[in-house]
A and B are shown apart, each in its own frame.
Chain A
Amino acid sequence: MKQEYDVAVVGGGVVGCAIARELSRYQLKVILLEKESDVARGTSGKNSGVVHTGFNVPKGSVKARLNVLGASMFEELCTTLNAPFKRVGKLVVALGAAEAPDLEKLKALGDANGVPSLEIIDAKEIKRMEPNISGYAAMNVPTAAIICPFRLTIALAESAVANGADILLEAEVKGISGKLGEFRINTTRGTVQSKLVVNSAGLYADHVARLAGVRRYKIYPCRGEYVIIDKARSDLISRMIYPVPPKGGSGLGVHLTPTIDGNILIGPSAAYVRSKTNDGTTGAMARQLVKEARELLPGLSNRDVITSYAGLRPKTVSSAVGGFNDFTIEELPELPGMMHLVGIESPGLTAAPAIALDIAKWVGTHLPLQSNSQFDPQRKAAVPFNELPPEKQAELVDADPDYGQIVCRCESITRKEILEAIHNPLGAQTIGAIKYRSRATMGRCQGGFCGPNIEKIVEEELGVRATEMSLKGEGSWLFTGSTKDLRS
């Protein structure tokens, strides 16, 4: 089946989803193609979840412009999309006198980039703000914020769909042919015809470009591992705690980030890997992370770790070169009509809404941008039950008894929230999709109690048998059959 679109966006990360949603403001036929079983399955789902202010990106760079603009858009965006956002602030901590001049340099750069309210504070002030943190001096970044990166990406995607965009999951792009006005994109779920193409394939942006005959890009995956600390220790810090960025490093240094849900993240490490699928964690790194984090936060122990994960940075500099490149966002003269977004690593999450504005402008150079009068920026979502006071909880349960049934006990996630996740507008039906939407199974028991109950609800709601359920799509089956099958 051949389908015709104005714009095809390749890649369902935060950038691709922000673009699809931004384009849904206009009378355009938009489709987003994603090879995985859900959006946010790559780098966008596995990072620190930080809205960076832009104090450490080179002045005058594309990164600096999009970072600062993106950061200024975030609070309103999250509120509109009903996605969590907390302006918790950040301290960049110098452990000794030797690092103090670096703080001054960072502040000067931040001031130049237009980051508001930066100030240098002394050890005493650090203790007052963060009693568990020891440092010589720090830069206070009060405007830094945290978000939930996968829930934001999901919210952007759902808003795009609600406003008329199509999202095709498990549609891996296999070939791109044609030209401006008549691109043909072959996917594992059929062929799509589109006037314009946006390559926001993240780690695979070089590969997608090559499918269209563009061979100039090369992405070097650089793995960042994190460990997650039990909520019970959430009171250790109240804002983000960063070290002074390591010189010549590939990342921002191991930092402590409170998450939206009350855990603390430690990480990320930075290690180049060969394969773009190598997002496994390593034992050595997990121990190293806790050890490094203890320099900032001595109260931390290995026993506080509940789990770990890793994401891959799509870097355009090799390990031999090191450091950072600017974002590449360009339409090439030899292939008009296709926009490439390459090397959108940190602060790519922060920049995503600003990138989407740029892309909409670019679309406008090829196609008329007429606003979509039906566009509704708001996105409705189930109320997070566990964040409400008992009186409000009582009202919800009285109005809808599904709120009274706690399915995930560790996180107090109700049946109502699970049902909303199951019936998501993208039609993502894996157990992982439900987990990322509702947060169920992400607590300290990691699904030991609620996993089976969630499968039961999926069975009832979607008519899918347990033996057909997967964790994250084809191949990741939960069960090998019924017990009786074992004897055959």
Chain B
Amino acid sequence: MRTEEVDVAVIGGGPAGLAAAVAARKAGAQNVVLIERGEQLGGILNQCIHDGFGTKNMGKALTGPEYAQIYIDQASAAGVTCHLNTMVLNLTPERELTLCSKEGVRHVRAKSVVLTMGCRERTRGAIGIPGYRPAGVFTAGVVQYYMNIRNLSVGRRVVVLGSGDVGLIMARRLTLEGAQVPCVAEILPYPSGLMRNVVQCLEDFGIPLYLSTTVIEIHGRDRITGVTLAKIGPRGGVVPGSQRLVECDTLMLSVGLIAENELAKKAGVALSPITGGPIVDDHFQTSVPGIFSAGNALQVHDLVDYVSLESEKAGLSAAKYADAGKLRVANIKVTPGRGIRYVVPQYIGGDESVDFSMRVEAPDLDRSVVFRSGSQTVRKMKENVVAPSSMIRFRVRSERFQKIGSELTVELEA
């Protein structure tokens, strides 16, 4: 079997992979290959026909396909080699990839690799909704594909479980197309999606959002005929007497996204139990030297704009590694403290400015995000509103790191 040598191999041709590949080429990497398992580049953006993409990094609201096309054109102009309909079957810690397509199975050895496989949707099984297993239970992303790409109607009366952004957007889409959406149920006491989507997708269309509510049973053996909703108390149990039957022919799930990291595991990359993505340093390098990660495979983002920005940095780092064969070590550990669920990157070098991203544990008002090293406050920033649905991003300049120790903690304070 032949083995091809390349400088940078980027796995996944969605927004993250496109941005990383373009950035790697611009940074001087000669031979950059972008490997995509689907038949076209752009990933999930292709089915996101709503607008709102690009407001942060392009200053305009684009649809998903428009946003993707900008990067696809850039990749083409920059001379990125794209392999479509190609699946990466294996990745070794030595950065050898096994590729499979109709043309054959072959090996590629890369000087550096960027993991940009994105994420997948949590399913019914993963959240353990009991009952029968009829047709008519879909995840929101699948509904989006059927409606927007295939012109297929999944149902006429659709109950939505979970208030993730894709679910909210699809509740609106279904309504616009003429289906009924009797309600959106969310098990948490606050919405999982962005506030702008709650307003624009539910409130504007009169779709009720029931918080602290979930589906406790699915009815119907062949096609779903209804669901039992119930209120969930503070300790996680069903509030007695709160059960009610809602008739529907479809249940659409928007109950979370999971970073896709099967290949990362094969390569022995250390993963964070919280983000599900690799543990990275401020160059987006994982625990395996020369393997980088960005986009939703690293951490599930709220906006694609930030996926692109983050992935450009990962692509740049990958190009540098391909050139030099190493990058400086980052051994200052960054840990989430009170009120913070996670922070990325988990390690920094302290010699460069760092863009941190993080999510809080619960919604709150008038908080400060504080970076500390020992008793020393490194940086403190005010946030009027914090919510788990919105990623918080901060740049901390390199001069702030000058006197810090080997640990940095991030906390939420009053």
Which residues of A line the B interface, CB within 8 A? 227-228, 232, 277, 279-283, 285-287, 302, 305-309, 390-391, 393-394, 397-398, 401-402, 404-406, 409-410, 412, 444-449, 451-452, 466-467, 470-487
- Whether B123 contacts A307 by the Cβ 8 Å rule is yes
- Whether B37 contacts A409 by the Cβ 8 Å rule is yes
Main secondary structure on chain A at its contact with chain B? Answer: mixed
Q: How far is the CB of B182 from chain A (nearest CB, A)?
A: 15
- Whether B154 contacts A412 by the Cβ 8 Å rule is no
Residues of A within 8 A of B128 (CB): 227, 283, 286-287, 302, 305, 308
Q: Which of B1, B123, B129, B152 contacts A394 (CB 8 A)?
A: B1
Q: How far is the CB of A229 from chain B (nearest CB, A)?
A: 11
- Whether B37 contacts A452 by the Cβ 8 Å rule is no
B132 at interface by CB-CB < 8 Å: yes
Q: How far is the CB of B130 from chain A (nearest CB, A)?
A: 4
Residues of B within 8 A of A393 (CB): 89, 100, 105
Selected A-B contacts with CB under 8 Å, 29 pairs: A232-B262, A280-B217, A282-B130, A285-B130, A302-B128, A305-B125, A305-B128, A390-B90, A394-B106, A397-B100, A397-B102, A401-B103, A402-B102, A404-B100, A409-B37, A412-B89, A446-B123, A448-B121, A448-B139, A449-B120, A451-B142, A479-B146, A480-B250, A481-B153, A483-B177, A484-B151, A485-B153, A486-B177, A487-B178
Report the bound CA distance from A409 to B100 in whole Å. Answer: 12
Q: How far is the CB of A401 from chain B (nearest CB, A)?
A: 4
Which residues of B line the A interface, CB within 8 A? 1, 37, 85, 87, 89-90, 98, 100-107, 120-121, 123-126, 128-135, 139, 141-142, 145-147, 150-156, 177-179, 216-218, 221-223, 249-250, 262, 265
- Whether B152 contacts A486 by the Cβ 8 Å rule is no
Report the bound CA distance from A480 to B216 in whole Å. Answer: 25
Q: Which of B104, B130, B142, B265 contacts A404 (CB 8 A)?
A: B104
Q: How far is the CB of A478 from chain B (nearest CB, A)?
A: 6
Residues of A within 8 A of B87 (CB): 406, 409, 412
Residues of B within 8 A of A227 (CB): 128
Known contacts A401-B102, A448-B121; 12 additional CB pairs below 8 A are A227-B128, A280-B133, A286-B130, A390-B89, A397-B103, A404-B101, A445-B121, A447-B142, A448-B139, A452-B145, A476-B222, A487-B178
Q: How far is the CB of B124 from chain A (nearest CB, A)?
A: 7
Q: How far is the CB of B116 from chain A (nearest CB, A)?
A: 15
**A483 and B100 contact, Cβ closer than 8 Å, known pairs A390-B105, A474-B222:** no
Residues of B within 8 A of A398 (CB): 104
Residues of B within 8 A of A286 (CB): 128, 130
Residues of B within 8 A of A444 (CB): 120, 123
Q: Which of A280, A449, A483 contacts B152 (CB 8 A)?
A: A483
- Closest residue to B131 on the A side, CB-wise? A280
- Closest residue to A307 on the B side, CB-wise? B125
- Closest residue to B273 on the A side, CB-wise? A303
Q: Which of B100, B130, B142 contacts A452 (CB 8 A)?
A: B142
- Whether B89 contacts A483 by the Cβ 8 Å rule is no
- Whether B100 contacts A306 by the Cβ 8 Å rule is no
- Whether B126 contacts A306 by the Cβ 8 Å rule is yes
- Whether A486 contacts B105 by the Cβ 8 Å rule is no
Residues of A within 8 A of B121 (CB): 445, 448
Q: Which of B102, B126, B249 contacts A305 (CB 8 A)?
A: B126
- Whether B154 contacts A480 by the Cβ 8 Å rule is yes
Report the bound CA distance from A287 to B131 in whole Å. Answer: 14
Residues of A within 8 A of B100 (CB): 393, 397, 404, 406
Q: How far is the CB of B123 from chain A (nearest CB, A)?
A: 4
- Closest residue to B127 on the A side, CB-wise? A305
Q: How far is the CB of B66 from chain A (nearest CB, A)?
A: 21
- Whether A482 contacts B142 by the Cβ 8 Å rule is no
**A471 and B134 contact, Cβ closer than 8 Å, known pairs A448-B120, A487-B177:** yes
